[in-house]
Amino acid sequence: MNDKTIFIIPFALPWDRSADYQRQTCFELAKKYHVVAYMQRDAIFLLKAQFYKKTFKYPTHKNITFYRPLFVIPFRRIKIIDNINQIVSYILFQLFFIRTHLCILWVFDPIFYLFPKLTHGISIYDCVDYHAGYCTGIKRIEIEIQERILIHAVDYFFVNSHTLNEIHTLVRKPDAIVPQGFRLNEFQHTVKISVRVPQDKPIIGYVGALDHRLDWVLLETLMRNNPQWIFVLWGPVVNDEEHDETSINKRLCTIFQLPNVITGKSSDRRKISAIIQQFTIGIIPQLFSLSGVRQSYPMKLFEYFYMGKPVVSTPIEELRRFSRYVYFGKTVKEWESHIHRILFSVWSLQYQREQKKLAIANSWRAKVYTIMKIIEQDQRS
């Protein structure tokens, strides 16, 4: 690999999504290479491209080019037509834009299972989540099939957790279990924030997307039962088009009106550390009934760790490796017991140092370096 190498990262999520593993990978690779953010989500029909070009703009970042695919066949909502459009637009993209460069395709999502076979270069599947675990029925089967094809098709297959390693080993043994990914740079270069949470009560805080993956019943009950604590929910409300958000939105409206609840979000992610710093305890109240949650590996864990905060979480399998710093509970009673235990004890400086060390070891730089080192060594052999 050299400075003419181009990395292609297909995006299934918006560029500014709070779960920003794709964007952070772009930033890290762009320090040395040119990166194309292939914005599949924003694909547009060819005949409409000129009109939308004037009204649709992406941010500017050094060594990152945004590419919006063009579809040539109308009626994209029909599955077979959508697949044909994806194939044609990706082939045209390679022919016209990267034909003279070494290309490395870096895939995060099973929906791009067709791309590795179409790529004139190296392909990677960087598996960061149990994608099928958030769906049911035919949709789940479809994702499982797509992922199986993708795992067999790519040149390199990586997972970021022991849990995902166990799930996928029967299909193909991953080339490595790599660091999870933590935005170390943004926590090292913080920006002051004007929001100050009252410090006269313990602060139980959450950072991240407010969506269907959270256990809203657990949260609301915990909040109502404990007016002696302040609860901070810091992050954007994210509606998923595949889920009915009506009940969640109603519950959010109720929760936001509780006197011991503070909500907000930061457009500048460098401000998040200033919010976490004010927490007494960091929480991960994911909905345990979702199999995708049970097999997940929340990135916010290392955000809490870097700031030296004790954590209370629903029993996510991967987090059990960190039981020295994380307390697990399924019920409100268990959560209350853990919170009381933490509040009436001293969180040692030794724990805080160990947590910070773990967070640094799981930085995006560490993850990308691990993957690149494996590929470069293999290419030289």
Q: Across the beta sheet with 230-234, what order do the strands follow?
A: 261-264, 230-234, 203-207, 281-284, 311-313, 326-328
Grouping H, G, I as helix, E, B as strand and the rest as coil, residue 273 is: helix
Over residues 332-341, the pLDDT tens digits come to 999 999 999 9
Q: Report residue 248: phi and psi, to 5°.
A: -65, -45
**CB-based burial, 307-321: b 16+ in 10 Å, e otherwise:** bbbbbbbbebbbbee
Dihedral of alpha carbons 174, 177, 183, 188, sign: negative
> What angle in degrees, to the nearest 10, is found between the helix axes of 246-256 and 216-225?
20
Q: pLDDT of 202-248, one tens digit each?
A: 999 999 989 889 999 999 999 999 999 999 999 988 876 555 556 67
Task: Name the average pLDDT for the chain.
Answer: 90
Instruction: Answer yes or no: are the C-beta atoms of 355 and 325 closer than 8 Å.
Output: yes
CB 15 within 8 A of CB 39: yes
What is the token pair recorded at 249? 């939105």
The β-bridge partners of 256 are none
More confident residue, 208 or 52: 208
What 3-state DSSP class applies to 143?
Answer: helix
Instruction: Give strand pairing partners of 126.
Output: 158
Model confidence pTM above 0.85: yes
CB-based contacts of 188, cutoff 8 Å, min separation 6: none
Separation of alpha carbons 49 and 367, rounded Å: 36
Fold classification of 6-181+363-380 is: Rossmann fold (3.40.50)
Name the more confident of 57 and 282.
282
Query: Whose CA is closest to 29, among 57, 59, 5?
Result: 5
- On the question of pLDDT at 41 being above 60, the answer is yes
Q: Identify the pLDDT of residue 204.
A: 97
Domain boundaries, the chain: 6-181+363-380, 184-361
Contact 182, 306 (CB under 8 A): yes
Check for a shared fold between 6-181+363-380 and 184-361: yes
* Residues 111 and 14: beta-carbon distance below 8 Å: no
SS3 268: coil
CATH for 184-361 (3.40.50.620, 3.40.50.300, 3.40.50.2000, 3.40.190.10): 3.40.50.2000
Cβ atoms of 291 and 321 within 8 Å: the answer is no
**pLDDT over threshold 70, residue 380:** yes
Secondary structure (3-state) at 10:
strand
Lowest mean pLDDT among 40-54, 74-88, 149-163: 40-54
Max Cα separation, the chain?
65
Nearest to 373 by CA among 156, 185, 161, 168: 156
90-148 pLDDT, tens digit per residue, is 988 888 776 666 789 999 999 999 999 998 889 999 999 999 988 889 989 999 999 99
Rg (CA), the chain: 22
